[in-house]
Structure 1
Amino acid sequence: MNDVAELKQFGYVHTQTQGIPVAEFERLRDRIVSDAGDEPGSWVHEWSHEAAELDRAGRVDEAWRYHAMARFPFPDGAPRRAAQAHCVDAFARSATGSALERLDVETPEGRIRGWAVGLSAAEPKPLLVISGGIVAAKEQYAPMLRIATGLDMAGIVTEMPGVGENTVGYTAKSWQTLSHLLDAVGDRAQASRTVAMALSFSGHLALRCAVNDSRLVGVVTAAAPISDFFTDAQWQRGLPRITVDTLAHLTGVDADQLGGHIRDWALSDDELTALAVPLYYMASDRDEIIPPGELGHLQRSVRELHVLSHDDEHGAPRHLEETQRWVAAAIHTLRG
């Protein structure tokens, strides 16, 4: 069971990235008093009930967004698992007749699922891969595939290992899932010209992948852990419970064992120095999840670093429009 105050605090930025009006978030927020099952007044019930009402009204493109919030931060039982399934189903129905296609990639570690646009064996294009963090289903960021279309790129939106429909486990080698994805579409896109828009924890995976896989030509990320997050035990003790519980769920370890389990996942100065492609990094000065020293590691070691800083909390919820413009401009530059 999650802390209701944390659900409301960290859920807010995810409602905004999906275009859910602030007034709607506040209306539902005020009705939520618990995170117990799917009873009225619970997080899952209120978001799911609203989603069902929207679906019945024929507003399926809005309904999937509310289902995505109902499964937030991760499916910890039957009610959130149902919300996850409803989110995927509603999104698929909203995408009917569009250029979006389902993408399934089987790997030795599990199945990666995504939504794709612009893949073509006859006319392969440079590729944009989009991925969110540990609490974000792929559907949440699928609308950003319009950036790929606008830049004449192919695009894929997928998920972190263990998130949503991605059955690959979250381990120290999870960066390889991005390489597996590029392998799978290499005959329908210019995989050697891939830009990764990888937010939060997926940014950490994309950076390690870029060091090892030369097909990536640039990484755009926001609020990504780099080194201190994985090694600073004191910082870890102050993390929001929702972050610790989600990471424990994805990694399959007990919360009290998490710090030791991820300690070796830190990116070293040598790895950051070896990064041969541009990195665009958005940082928040008052981030509750990402340690303030992470930016220093990047500034000392990364060859080509572009930084956008906000006086804001994790995800910079008060600066979303500015951040989205900056991200789009960065992708445009990396596209060439």
Structure 2
Amino acid sequence: MPYQWPLDASDLFGERYPQMINTGLPAGDVDAVRAAVTEMWADAPGGWVHEWSKLAATYADAGAHERAALAYGWAKFPTLADESKRVALAKQLEQYRLAAPGFGVRFERYVLELPYRGDTTSVPVHLLAPFDLAADRPVVLASGGVDSWKMDVHGLMVLLATRLRSRVLVFDIAGTGESTVPMTGAGGAEMVTGLIEHARSLGNGVVAHMGISMGGYFSARSGLGGEVDAAVVLGGPVEAAFTDARKDAFGMDGILGNAMGFDAPPTPEQLVAGRAEFSLRPLLDQDRNSPMLVVNGADDVHVPQHDTLVFRGRRDTVVDLVPDTGHCAVSKLPEVFPTIIGWLDRTLTAITETDR
């Protein structure tokens, strides 16, 4: 079962504020919730889930379903550690589906049975595509990270679909969101392999993989292994984040512990052992990679610069360590995301033309 752990709500607002407003919520509304929240876990006035859900309900009552989905997304943040968080996720999905007619793109939701550690697991996915999309277009497989999931990054996914004129297949990585299995390196990668195979059947067979934060770990893995035709890694940990002896910031030890399937706070030794299997050093030592774009903020408190800079000098790889911004360059997303879209457009166009 998931677990709670000591977590300072005010610290989370300090770190995540740019993400809250850059993904679609008005700053004034975020400021009001920030002023009202006094503790993390209480499902009562002053509690994180209560105050965010109160804002979300206001949006829902006004028919602003997409904003309601975003606010419920923050209510369940950063992990489903108790029943109130699970209720918030269910309400987020309800509001997201109500918002779908206004997305401006075609929206499908369905469930895939994918391989996971010698068995299978059910994985709900969202498929976004322009209404008049031609059949012979590439597909972009995409996910958020360990605490910001597929509905939380919806606006970015719509941008990918509309600007690239492509289908975007969005999922939650293992151990997060609607996933029912723990986050492991090999097991999570098996899921991704199954998703890539499915994505190849949806368009012209060309598939790119974009991952954000911990999702970037999996896109780095599929890109380094040459499983996809192109890969974008936005703020992804690949090596030092799993092996450096350092203290996690802003509750990340509890977020990861929950995702990895612990039912109580792990000891430092358990967390180190669990993280060790994620290191991508074996793939980094090989020369199998697809074209890759690796981006992060220079001031990331979660992912050391090494995990971006280690890609410098690789064949067919572009590296961008963005100054004066933090994890996933989130405070500069309005500048960074057009760069990502431009790179994907050029790369996928070149691949498609070569295949012809």
Superposition TM-score, scaled by structure 1 size: 0.91
| Identical positions, percent | 22
Q: Judge conservation of contact 1:126–1:190 (CA < 8 Å) in 2.
A: yes
Determine the structure 1 residue equivalent to 2:352: none
| Alpha-carbon offset, residue 272 of structure 1 | 5.3
Instruction: Please give the alpha-carbon distance, in whole angstroms, between the structure 2 residues aligned to 1:284 and 1:200.
Output: 11
Partner of 2:353: none
Tell me, in whole angstroms, the C-alpha distance in 2 between the residues paired with 1:318 and 1:146. Answer: 17
For the residues of structure 1 that align with 2:91 and 2:29, how far apart are their CA atoms?
A: 20
Shift of 1:48: 0.1
Q: Is the 8 A contact 1:310 1:319 kept in 2?
A: no
1:302 Cα offset (Å): 5.2
Question: In 1, Cα distance between the equivalents of 2:182 and 2:238?
Answer: 20
Unaligned runs of 5+ residues in structure 1 are: none
Q: 1:151 offset after TM fit, Å?
A: 2.4
Residue 271 of structure 1, CA deviation = 3.0
Partner of 1:113: 124
SS at match of 1:114: strand
Match of 1:289 among 279, 302, 305: 302
Moved more, 273-282 or 69-78: 273-282
Aligned equivalents of 1:58 and 1:118: distance in 2?
24
Residue 210 of structure 2 aligns to a residue in which SS? strand
CA distance, structure 1, for counterparts of residue 307 and residue 223 of structure 2: 18
Q: Distance in 2 between matches of 1:309 and 1:200?
A: 15
Distance 1:12 1:255, change over 3 A: farther
Aligned to 2:277: 264
Matched, 1:36 2:41: yes
1:101 aligns with 2:108: yes
CA pair 124-168 structure 1, distance change in 2 beyond 3 A: farther
Structure 1 counterpart of 2:123, one-letter code: I
Q: State the 1:36 CA deviation.
A: 3.0
Kindly state the Cα deviation for residue 296 of structure 1 after the two structures are TM-superposed. Answer: 3.1
CA 1:221–1:210 in structure 2 vs 1: closer, same or farther (change >3 Å)? closer
Partner Cα distance (1:255, 1:241) in 2: 16
Q: Secondary structure at the match of 1:106?
A: strand
1:63 to 60, 63, 68: 68
Residues 207, 37 of structure 1: CA spacing in aligned structure 2 closer, same or farther, 3 A cutoff? same
Contact conserved, 1:269 with 1:297, CA < 8 A, in 2?
Answer: no
1:176 aligns with 2:190: yes
* CA distance 1:171–1:59, shift in 2 (3 Å): same
1:270 Cα deviation from its structure 2 partner? 4.9
Task: Map Cα deviations across residues 120-167 of structure 1 (whole Å, 9 max, x no partner).
Answer: 9x9243101121110012112223234223322111111111211122
Q: Does the Cα contact within 8 Å between 1:148 and 1:154 map onto a contact in 2?
A: yes
Answer whether contact 2:19 2:331 (CA < 8 A) is retained.
no
Structure 1 residues 292-331: aligned runs within 5 Å:
292-301=305-314, 303-331=316-344
Shift of the alpha carbon at 1:175? 1.7
The 2-side partners of 1:270 and 1:184 are apart by: 24
Say whether the 8 Å CA contact 1:199–1:224 is kept in structure 2. Answer: yes
Please provide the CA RMSD for this pair: 2.3
Which structure 2 residues correspond to residues 95-244 of structure 1 after superposition, within 5 A? Answer: 95-96=100-101, 99-109=106-116, 110-118=121-129, 123-143=135-155, 144-173=157-186, 174-191=188-205, 193-214=206-227, 216-233=228-245, 235=246, 238-244=247-253
Gaps of 5+ in 2: 350-356
Q: Report the CA distance shift for 1:190/1:242 in structure 2 as closer, same or farther (over 3 A).
A: farther
Letter in 2 for 1:23: G
CA contact (8 A) 2:140 2:207 kept: yes
Query: Structure 1 residues 141 and 275, CA, compared in 2 at 3 Å: closer, same or farther?
Result: farther
Which amino acid counterpart does residue 110 of structure 2 have in structure 1? L
* Aligned partner letter, 1:8: F
- Say which SS state the counterpart of residue 230 (structure 2) adopts: strand
